[in-house]
Amino acid sequence: MTTEAAQFTPPKALAELIEAALSHGRSFIVQHNNSGDSPFVTFRAKWLPEGCDVTTEVTLTWHTRSTGTYRLFTAIARGYYQDWHDISAKKALSLVTGASCFFRRDVHAA
């Protein structure tokens, strides 16, 4: 007897981040844990922006605890001018696509 795992459909923001990371050549990993009562998925990306000597990193986690559906639980980033701090999924996408950068002082705020 074989048991097939349910197909995983990523949250929309996660799918957008994966697409952006692929399009912009970012190193990233997606970890999906479906072994317990509250599945979760984590996206991590890390890259060295052009002209910068400090990497930019983003980590976002969605979980299903209490809701049964994936909801953003945590989103953090660090870069040239800022250590780890809270961000939104929208800001993470902006960083991954290069639309904003911690290296440029005019757009480094979360």
User: What confidence tens digit (pLDDT) does each residue in 53-103 have?
Assistant: 889 999 999 998 877 789 999 999 999 878 999 999 999 999 999 888 776
Number of H helices, E strands in the chain: 2, 5
- Nearest-5° Cα angle at 17, 99 to 85: 70
| CA atoms of 84 and 4, how far apart (whole Å) | 38
pLDDT reported for residue 6: 65
| Model pLDDT for residues 3-41, shown as the tens digit of each residue | 555 677 899 999 999 999 999 999 999 999 887 778 899
Instruction: Kindly report the number of other CB atoms within 10 A of residue 63's CB atom.
Output: 18
Please say if the pLDDT value at position 108 is more than 50. Answer: no
